[in-house]
Amino acid sequence: MKTLLAEAKGSASRFPGTLIDDLSITCRERSDHRCYLPGYLAVVSLQGWRQFVFERMRSESAAKFFLECQNDSLQSLALSLVGMWRPALQSLRAALEGCLAAAYYSDHPVEARRWTTGSFSIGFSQLLKYFEEHPADLSAHARLNPLPALEKEYTTLSQAVHGSRLSFRMSTDGQIALSRNDGRLHSMWLTRHRSVLQAINLLLCGLFRDDIRGNDHAELRKTISLAVPRRLHEALRRHWGVRLYHA
């Protein structure tokens, strides 16, 4: 037992240094401009929403929920830079849930106060149903409706959370792998990340379009343009009155 304990303590003392070395190598390899820039630009849109809408027009509780959503999205990006793909997807699911919660609690300040005391909670399915029935009528225009994408991404990302799909596993060839510099996994993460950030932005555009339509909040609309593809710009202008810019 003493020999095993000594070996375990020796391994524990080496682990932090080995981990930092491995993550640093992966980060240097993955921080190529083309690898992380698209994901980073999409996250910038969340800063715009927090600065110009949630912190100025919504309750403090809703703003704090959205801050955590932004934090989770940036954490997902950070984890992708060090090749921790499954945790990156788990953080992305948290960002998705956080956005829905922030939007919900901006409509329900009483429930937000109850949440802080532990007397109220609401799950993803209930949140989705709430926005399906929301007076903003998000489903009126199929191309702009973010709810099917949010539901699909939540289901997919839940598979990463629970490890129920082989393609999401980090371990490989019978070996532990906390970090992997894997182009296929990066592409998978970036696809999910783009889809979630696009859906989040469409959801918020639909809910808060009266606040940002026309010439109002040009700086916010510029950040939204970083996450919403050009092919949707005309539909946003025509149906919701939200004018975006060509990035």
Each domain of the chain, given as residue ranges in start order, spans 31-240
The predicted pLDDT at position 246 comes to: 84
Token digits for 110? 């009483």
Q: Answer whether 0.85 is exceeded by the pTM.
A: yes
Token digits for 226? 């970083």
The predicted pLDDT at position 32 comes to: 62
Q: What is the pLDDT of residues 197-222, one digit of tens each?
A: 999 999 999 999 999 998 889 999 99
Neighbours of 53 (CB within 10 A): 22
Q: Which of 159-163, 165-169, 212-216, 222-226 has the lowest mean pLDDT?
A: 165-169
Please give the C-alpha separations between residue 222 and each of 33, 198, 225, 228, 247, in angstroms, as whole numbers: 21, 14, 5, 10, 8
Task: Report the distance separating Cα 243 and Cα 204, nearest Å.
Answer: 14
Q: What is the pLDDT of residues 67-99, one digit of tens each?
A: 999 999 999 998 988 888 999 999 999 999 999
Neighbours of 225 (CB within 10 A): 22
CA 157 to chain CA centroid, nearest Å: 11
Helix axes 85-107, 183-207, angle to 10 degrees: 10
Candidates 68, 61, 40, 63; CA nearest to 51 is 63
